[in-house]
Amino acid sequence: MNSSEEMAVSGMSAGRSAMRMGPAELVQAAAMARRFYLEGKSKIQIAEEFGVSRFKVARVLETALERDLVRIEIRVPAELDAERSDALRARYGLRHAVVVESPAEAEESPDPENLGEVAADLLGELVSEGDVLGLAWGRSTIHMAAALDRLPPCTVVQLTGVYDAGTAERGSVEAVRRAAQVSGGDAHPIYAPMLLPDAATAAALRHQTGIARAFEYFDKVTVACVSIGSWEAGISTVHDMLTEEERAHYASLGVAAEMSAHLFDAEGRRIGRDLGERCITVKTDQLRRIPEVVAIAGGQRKAAAIDAVLRSGLVTSLVTDTSAADSLLTAGPAPRSALNRTDPDDTLRA
């Protein structure tokens, strides 16, 4: 996700306002601008070369911009929407927001695959050598792992159980292995379902050697990658694993979103805490202590769920698409900063 700045210096197309400068002034201003913008020289260096003060250099450069002698264009790859990205980051107080152009034929589809590709590049920027990278189950995180082609040496740990233990080789276990292979670090997968029939079974599984070893890394995670689901069939993993009676129960509590097997209402408050006791997953208070939590989620159908999770304070950065971004940027009053990572429930009790 590289951006480039192209500086064009032109006296011939300077415009009527720039022609108020004499030809000697125009030539000198163009030369100074070229030195500063294209050659990367400092104002002091330019002043020494032209035998003037650095203050005059500053004035000349400012005049060159005002009179259109210098044109500055900020360019990013066509698939990235810089304006929406910055607006989304500001609205939610995120550390990073990256908005990807939605494919015209997939605007209604959740989590287009290109989100994973962009998220893979973002992780390449965020992860440093020696970090512990945590990956939660989700289609978008699986796509991200498949697209990874660079990561500094780091430890990779799975943050949730799998949707179906029988698909571990094609799901989150393989994502953890893939990320560890790219980074050259250790992998700590979890060979267990995400949701168990009861709390006792889940507690017993957490004490099994391999799973317990992965859990020991949860408090050491420095960068995490998570997915977000809205409360509907085919888009929420937890929704699809529950019985009709259980779905109705959590719907009655106002569930609007699911992330890493935790449920949230529209204001970002966690609900259905009893469900967490049946799940193999990282705890919300552990997620809240992770310095960088990147959520990957897109599509208009997920917009309300993304909004709810961002309001929880658990996520610091987001990779999404223009379809979801447009809904998020016009959805009700602006929330508190996502970087204010207090629990909304604690705020209510205060």
Q: For residue 16, what pLDDT is reported? A: 38
Say what the pLDDT of residue 338 is. Answer: 65
pLDDT of 164: 59
Question: What stretch of H or E contains 224?
Answer: strand 223-227
Are 341 and 285 contacting, i.e. CB atoms less than 8 angstroms apart? no
Tell me the torsion sign for CA atoms 307, 308, 312, 318: negative
Burial class of residue 194 in the structure, from the number of CB atoms within 10 Å of its CB (0-12 exposed, 13-18 middle, 19+ buried): buried
Amino acid at 66: E
* Contact between 58 and 33 (Cβ < 8 Å): no
pLDDT of residue 114: 82
Q: Running DSSP on this structure, what letter comes out for residue 294?
A: E
**pTM of the predicted protein model:** 0.75
Looking at residue 109, what is its pLDDT?
58
Q: For the range 340-346, what are the long-range contacts, defined as Cβ-Cβ under 8 Å and sequence gap of 24 or more?
A: 340/93, 340/313, 341/288, 341/313, 341/314, 341/316, 342/313, 343/270, 343/284, 343/285, 343/288, 343/312, 343/313, 344/267, 344/268, 344/269, 344/270, 344/311, 344/312, 344/313, 345/269, 345/270
Residue with tokens 């267990």: 192
227-246: buried (b, 16+ CB within 10 Å) or exposed (e) per residue? bbbbbeeebbbbbebeeeee
pLDDT per residue as tens digits for the range 253-262 = 999 999 999 9
pLDDT digits (tens, 9 = 90+) for 288-331: 999 999 999 998 889 999 999 999 999 999 999 999 999 999 87
Summarize pLDDT for 80-125 with one digit per residue, the tens: 888 899 999 999 999 999 999 887 655 555 667 788 889 999 999 9
